[in-house]
Amino acid sequence: MYWSKLYAPTLKESPSDADIKSAELLIRGGFIRKSASGVFSYLPLGTRVLQKITQIVREEMNIAGAQELLMPIMQPAEIWKTTGRWDDYGPEMMKFRDRNDREFTLGPTHEEMITTLVKDELRSYKQLPVNLYQINTKYRDEIRPRFGLLRGREFIMKDAYSFHTSPESLDQTYKDMYNAYSRICDRMNMKYVAVEADTGTIGGSNSHEFTAFAESGESDILVCEKCGYSATQEKAECSDDQKSADEPLKTLTLVETPNVRTVDELAKFLKIEKDKIVKSMVFTGKNGYVMALIRGDLEINIPKLKSYLGDQTLRFATAEEVFEKFSSQIGYIGPIGVKAVRIVSDNSVKNLKNYVVGGLKNEYHYINVNHERDYKINEYTDIRIVVDGDKCPKCGSPLKLKKGIEVGQVFKLGTKYSEKLSATYVDSDGSEKYYVMGCYGWGVSRTMAAVVEQFHDEKGIIWPKAIAPFEVVVTIVNTAMQDQVRVGHEIHEMLEKHEIEVLLDDRDVSAGFKFKDADLIGIPLRITCGKSLENGDIELKLRNSDKSSKIKIEDRDSVLRSVKTLLENYKL
RNA sequence: CGGGGCGUAGCGCAGAGGUAGCGCACCUGUCUUGGGCACAGGGGGUCGCUGGUUCAACUCCAGUCGCCCCGACCA
CATH code where residue A447 lies: 3.30.930.10
From the CA atom positions of chain A, what is the Rg in Å?
30
Domain membership of residue A219 (yes or no) is no
Q: Does residue A13 carry a pLDDT above 80?
A: yes
Q: Which residues pair with A154 in a beta bridge?
A: A139
Q: Please count the structural domains in chain A.
A: 3
Q: What is the CATH number of the domain that holds A270?
A: 3.90.960.10
Q: Give tens-digit pLDDT for A309-351.
A: 888 778 888 888 888 888 888 889 999 999 889 999 999 999 9
- The domain in which residue A50 lies consists of 20-189+415-452
- Which A residues between 469 and 498 have a beta carbon under 7 A from any strand B atom? 477-480
Q: Note the CA–C1' distance, A152 to B20, in angstroms.
A: 37
Task: Mark whether A116 and A173 lie in a shared domain.
Answer: yes
Q: How far is the CA of A36 from the C1' of B7 (A)?
A: 14
- List protein-proximal bases of chain B (any atom < 7 A from a CB): 1, 11-13, 23-25, 32-37, 66-75
Residue A16 CA and nucleotide B7 C1' are separated, in Å, by 12
Comparing C-alpha atoms, which of A269, A355, A381, A288 is closest to residue A326? Answer: A288
The reply to whether the CB atom of residue A202 sits less than 7 A from any atom in nucleic acid chain B is: yes
Query: Are residues A348 and A316 both part of a single domain?
Result: yes
* DSSP state for residue A90 in the 8-state scheme: G
Residue A395 contacts strand B, CB under 7 A: no
How far does the CA of A239 sit from the C1' of B65, in Å? Answer: 53
Which nucleotide lies at the shortest CA–C1' distance from A234?
B74
Q: Is A403 domain-assigned?
A: no
Same domain, A376 and A485: no
DSSP structure class, residue A394: T
Separation of alpha carbons A512 and A116, rounded Å: 58
pLDDT band with cut points at 50, 70 and 90 for residue A246: confident
Strands A379-381 and A342-346: parallel
- Please state, in angstroms and as integers, the Cα–Cα distance from residue A95 to each residue in A65, A86, A89, A155, A420, following that order: 34, 9, 11, 16, 21
* Domain co-membership, A40 together with A184: yes
| pLDDT at residue number A454 | 95
Position A172 scores a pLDDT of 96
Strands (E), A419-491: 424-426, 432-434, 436-443, 456-457, 460-461, 472-476
Return the percentage of chain A with pLDDT > 90, whole number.
73
Cross-strand bridge partners of residue A160: A133, A440
Rounded to two decimals, the ipTM of the complex is 0.92
Pair A530, A447 in one domain:
no
Q: How far is the CA of A11 from the C1' of B16 (A)?
A: 30
pLDDT, tens digit (0-9, with 9 covering 90-100), for A368-387: 999 999 999 989 998 998 88
Whether the pLDDT of residue A198 is over 80: the answer is: no
Tell me, yes or no, whether A26 and A175 share the same domain: yes
Do A328 and A432 belong to one domain?
no
> Nearest nucleotide to A440 by CA–C1' distance?
B75
